[in-house]
Amino acid sequence: MKRLLTLFFVFFLCVKIIWPQNLNTYELANINFDGNKEFSSSDLKHSIQSKETPFWGWKFLNSIYDKLGNPPAMFDSSTIPIDLEALKSFYQVNGFFETQFSYNYKPDTSNKTVTLNYIVKEGQPFKYGKINLLGLTRVPDIILKQVSDKNDVDSTERYSQDKIENNVSSILEYFYTTGYMNAKFDSTIILIDTLKDRVNLNLYLSPGRRYKISGIDVVKKGEGKDYVSDRLIKELIAISPEEYYDIEKIRNSQNRLSRTGLFSSLKLEGGKSDSTHQYVPINFEGNIGKMNELSPEIVMDNDQNSFNLGVGGTYIRKNFLGDARKLTLNGKIGLTDILHLNFANILRAPANRDSTYQGYYELSVKLEQPYIFNKPIYGSLELYDKTRTLLRTNIITYGSRIGFDFEMPYYTFLNQLKAYYNIELYDLVSNKIQNANFNFKFNSLSSIIGTEFGSAKTNDLFFPTKGYNLSFIVEGGIANSMNNVVGSDSVIALYVQIPPSKLNSYESAYFYRLQESFSMFFPIAHDNSSVLGVKFKTGYLRALNGNQELIPPNITFLAGGSNSVRGWKARQLVPQDTVTYYGIIIPENVRGGTVLVEGSFEYRKKILESVGYALFSDYGNTWNGFNQFRINDLAVAVGFGFRYYSSIAPFRLDFGFKLFNPETNKWIFTTSPFKTIEIHFGIGEAF
């Protein structure tokens, strides 16, 4: 009997040892959480080490090539204690200090998978108690008050370590802008009050000494170093002796130096303090290249919401007439909306081209200066000549533009501000209007003053995962316009509704133009590999006197294309039923609307460091006046795309489908999706 019991005991031990080993060959199919009310299961899954096995498609790709997809995730019971500690830490940094955890797992021997279950008893959340800032006895009262304001928390809110860390970062940033270049955060002591469910904190800071600027030390290298004086570099840096050290000013100065184009590389930073520990120099080190550059180029852009391809050349003269001015001469010629072009059109006569033909050429001269009026203002003056051909309609634009870009502190709400003045001569010439044999010419001389201001608060330029961009454009102007019609009297009388008294005479219209654009980004994954982006954009244009037709077409709003509603071609969404010039409907969607509404929802995912994909839904359209706006006129598109994130900019290929077409009042379900597809190639994200 004893021998039998001994054999049974040994067998039981072997089973206990072998069973977990066998489970290590099982895939972890599901991780479930029960009892978590405050945080989602997705958040908790990202906080632990155990991971669910990917779906079969990713595993199949990984079996072909280990750089693609993901390998299967196997169950490992030894990671459970690590998961429990990670869950405990996650809850504690979010204000739950009495949370309890348990677990169980269930194997499925037929499928060789395991389901892992974590049971959570969250308990009561702890709120903020008293927060003490220590180590600031030598800081002046005026600075101490600002520091205390940046550590303000709501005592009714649940404690969050992220909130405290953000406050500390804000405090340190403030120190760096007020002379404390060596300020640092030492440690935090957390005191838990279980009777009041409060978290009391002692934050230890070490601001160090407060420094003033002693001067600027300049070190120049490169073949162009003799053409740029130390005096000019110091003027561009624009930091004077006896100023307190300010990291924000140093960053702005570095950006200002970069915009001149003089430097192939540069570094600007605080140096070592002097023997009195009161002053530090600003050290500049830069590599200066050639003053003259001549380069051919292949032109790719998204102007007019379409992918355009052309060739061109640019000449740049740096430090033109001194003061770091930059002179740029540019010329280019190309084709518009290249993805929808019938290349046979290029060799055809204008009268025989189909509606896909669109081409352009541009010439421009631009003068830029990074520091004008002895202020940190970036100024530019541009003269240009642009010609665009749309089938049998030619548009020629001559103009000049002067602009001022003001440097704004990043930490303020309003951190972008531009002002500009634009004067432009616009000529439109079209023949065979509405298949009738007469020519129509419209020209306009417009003068516009405007400003663009907003707030850019995203965490990354190319792949933002959190933050927002907010932009407003306000313009006012006057347009002097004239119509000219050439053809037989009978044809003109049939198609044209222009009174003879208004032919070949100028009329004036005052107008204003408003545009708002807002985009926001929400992280989906804790590793910042996926994000949800939301965009909303509106515009309104109105003539204060005279007829709306007197407003130049290039000022109106257009929708459709690679940066707009991607189920439609560029410039395709216009209010065609009301776009007329005294009764004449100009073809090729030259004129847009006076009201714009559009938006997007886009999910972006990086599967590798430089490769990703996107799923999107776009909506929008244009109208002539608010009284024409209808919800059922909104065009709706859905689609997907692929992304390549280069060091220069993201490149994207998007496939858009017309989910709802307001022109036909039909949904995609009634039409073959392949008949509604539009393909767009773009540089940079759609928003």
Cα–Cα distance for residue pair 586/591, rounded to 1 Å: 8
- pLDDT for the residue numbered 542: 93
Across the chain, mean pLDDT equals 86
Joined tokens for residue 2: 């004893």
Select the more confidently predicted residue: 198 or 483: 198
Residue 17: band (very low, low, confident or very high) from pLDDT cuts 50, 70, 90: very low
- pLDDT for the residue numbered 19: 46
- pLDDT for the residue numbered 21: 47
- pLDDT for the residue numbered 7: 53
- pLDDT for the residue numbered 355: 55
- pLDDT for the residue numbered 13: 45
Q: For the residues 551-559, what does the mean pLDDT come to?
A: 88
Joined tokens for residue 555: 């000022």
Select the more confidently predicted residue: 626 or 89: 89
Residue 314: band (very low, low, confident or very high) from pLDDT cuts 50, 70, 90: very high
Residue 379: band (very low, low, confident or very high) from pLDDT cuts 50, 70, 90: very high
> Cα dist. 195→89, 142, 272, 303 in Å?
21, 36, 50, 63
Cα–Cα distance for residue pair 517/510, rounded to 1 Å: 24
Q: pTM, whole model, 2 decimals? A: 0.76
Is 514 in contact with 473 (CB distance < 8 Å)?
yes
The number of beta carbons lying within 10 Å of the beta carbon of residue 649 is 14
The tokens 């391809």 sit on which residue? 309
DSSP 11: H
Q: For the residues 598-602, what does the mean pLDDT come to?
A: 96
What domains are defined for the chain?
A: 19-121 (3.10.20.310), 127-206 (3.10.20.310), 212-288 (3.10.20.310), 292-683 (2.40.160.50)
Select the more confidently predicted residue: 576 or 365: 365
- pLDDT for the residue numbered 639: 94
Cα–Cα distance for residue pair 346/342, rounded to 1 Å: 8
Residue 217: band (very low, low, confident or very high) from pLDDT cuts 50, 70, 90: very high
Joined tokens for residue 72: 């299967």
pLDDT tens across 424-468, in order?
998 888 776 555 666 777 888 999 999 999 999 998 888 899 899
Q: Is 154 helix (H, G, I), strand (E, B) or coil?
A: coil
Joined tokens for residue 12: 């039981």
- pLDDT for the residue numbered 524: 83
Concatenating the DSSP letter of every residue in 242-309 gives TSBP-HHHHHHHHHHHHHTS-EEEEEEEE----TTSSEEEEEEEEEE--SEEEEEEEEEE-GGGS-EE
Answer whether residue 200 shows pLDDT above 70.
yes
Answer whether residue 591 shows pLDDT above 90.
no
Q: For the residues 202-222, what does the mean pLDDT come to?
A: 94
Joined tokens for residue 446: 């417009």
Q: Please state the length of the chain.
A: 687
Of 5-14, 187-196, 524-533, where does mean pLDDT reach its minimum?
A: 5-14
pLDDT tens across 517-550, in order?
999 999 887 677 889 999 999 999 999 987 777 8
Cα–Cα distance for residue pair 572/31, rounded to 1 Å: 48
DSSP 669: G
pLDDT tens across 613-672, in order?
999 999 999 998 888 898 999 999 999 999 999 887 889 999 999 999 998 888 887 777
Burial of 477 (0-12, 13-18, 19+ CB in 10 A): buried
pLDDT tens across 242-280, in order?
999 999 999 989 989 998 989 989 999 999 888 788 999
- pLDDT for the residue numbered 43: 86
> Cα dist. 581→142, 353, 448, 485, 551 in Å?
63, 24, 22, 11, 10
555-574 exposure pattern, b = at least 16 Cβ within 10 A, e = fewer? bbbbbbbbbbbbbbbbbbbb
Q: Which helix (H) or strand (E) holds 614?
A: strand 611-623
Select the more confidently predicted residue: 429 or 140: 140
Phi, psi of 214 (to 5 degrees): -90, -25
Q: For the residues 163-171, what does the mean pLDDT come to?
A: 91
Q: Is 426 helix (H, G, I), strand (E, B) or coil?
A: strand
pLDDT tens across 381-428, in order?
999 999 988 767 788 999 999 999 998 887 788 889 999 999 999 888
Of 47-56, 569-578, 630-639, 652-661, where does mean pLDDT reach its minimum?
A: 569-578
The tokens 């663009």 sit on which residue? 452
